């Protein structure tokens, strides 16, 4: 079963492998990822685990959220997330209030990491799409970083769809597939992934077994 887990991106560091080579890794902290609701095919028409992540003061939550977490036996959390499962998944091993463990992964596994990329604000076409800009030669004025003509002739007489324009860059939901797990530390609820993952420090990402390889069997999915 492809069960995932949510974690907070701590940052990047490097470790040394058996050959003495430096390996860049991203540290993900999965502390406090608790199940708040089990959604089944019969009731909600799809299978999923609703989990709560992050810490928050109870007085900073709205009353419906406090009641929902209290019913599940989970302390105040920062936000709720969902982990979608296969339609034929067996939901009996899961119940509200239990904590998901990073022990479901092990060294050498491959995972897909989903998160929100860093936002860079309102940017021009050179930074957003890699346009090369206008020639910086004699006679060119005020058009060095412009996108050039964006219209068409008499027909069709309009700007075509998907034309590169200035606008908000980043802050997109992306999934980086097939990332290698370098180390798993269940006691500290940490997992080390090779290379970079999307998002800023402190942002939340979802980890699950990659869809490009068979899911590992016989793992402890929760504690």
Q: What is the tens place of the pLDDT at every residue in 1-55?
A: 567 899 999 999 999 988 999 999 999 999 989 999 999 888 888 889 999 998 8
Q: Give 151's pLDDT tier (boundaries 50, 70, 90).
A: confident
Q: Give 177's pLDDT tier (boundaries 50, 70, 90).
A: very high
Alpha helices by DSSP H, listed for 43-180, are: 63-72, 125-129
Provide the token pair at 206.
Answer: 């979802």
The phi and psi torsions of 87 (rounded to 5 degrees) equal -60, -30
Q: How many CB atoms lie within 10 A of CB 150?
A: 12
Tell whether the model's pLDDT for residue 217 goes beyond 70: no
pLDDT at site 216: 67
Contact 112, 177 (CB under 8 A): yes
pLDDT at site 218: 61
The pTM score is: 0.83
Tell whether the model's pLDDT for residue 220 goes beyond 50: no
pLDDT at site 149: 85
- Give me the domains of the chain, ranges plus CATH numbers: 5-120+174-209 (2.40.30.10), 123-169 (no CATH)
pLDDT at site 94: 87
Q: What percent of the chain has pLDDT over 70?
A: 95
DSSP state of 134: S
Average pLDDT rounded to a whole number, residues 93-115: 90
The strand pairing partners of 208, in sequence order, are 112
Q: Cα 133–134–136 angle (5° rounding)?
A: 115
Structure confidence by residue, pLDDT tens digits, 59-80: 999 999 999 999 999 999 988 9
């Amino acid at each position: 079963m492809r069960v995932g887990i949510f974690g907070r991106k701590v940052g990047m560091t490097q470790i040394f492998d058996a050959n003495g080579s430096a390996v860049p890794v991203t540290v993900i902290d999965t502390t406090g990822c608790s199940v708040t609701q089990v959604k089944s095919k019969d009731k909600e028409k799809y299978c999923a685990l609703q989990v709560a992540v992050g810490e928050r003061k109870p007085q900073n939550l709205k009353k419906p959220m406090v009641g929902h977490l209290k019913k599940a036996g989970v302390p105040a959390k920062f936000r709720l997330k969902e982990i979608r499962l296969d339609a034929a998944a067996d939901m009996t091993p899961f119940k509200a209030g239990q904590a998901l463990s990073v022990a479901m992964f092990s060294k050498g596994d491959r995972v897909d990491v989903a998160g929100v990329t860093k936002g860079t604000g309102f940017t021009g076409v050179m930074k957003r799409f890699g346009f090369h800009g206008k020639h910086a030669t004699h006679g060119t004025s005020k058009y060095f970083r412009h996108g050039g003509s964006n219209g068409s002739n008499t027909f069709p007489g309009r700007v075509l769809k998907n034309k590169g324009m200035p606008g908000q860059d980043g802050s997109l939901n992306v999934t980086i597939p097939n990332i290698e797990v370098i180390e798993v530390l269940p006691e500290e609820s940490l997992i080390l992934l090779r290379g970079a993952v999307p998002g800023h420090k402190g942002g939340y990402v979802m980890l699950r077994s990659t869809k490009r390889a068979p899911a590992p069997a016989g793992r402890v999915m929760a504690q």
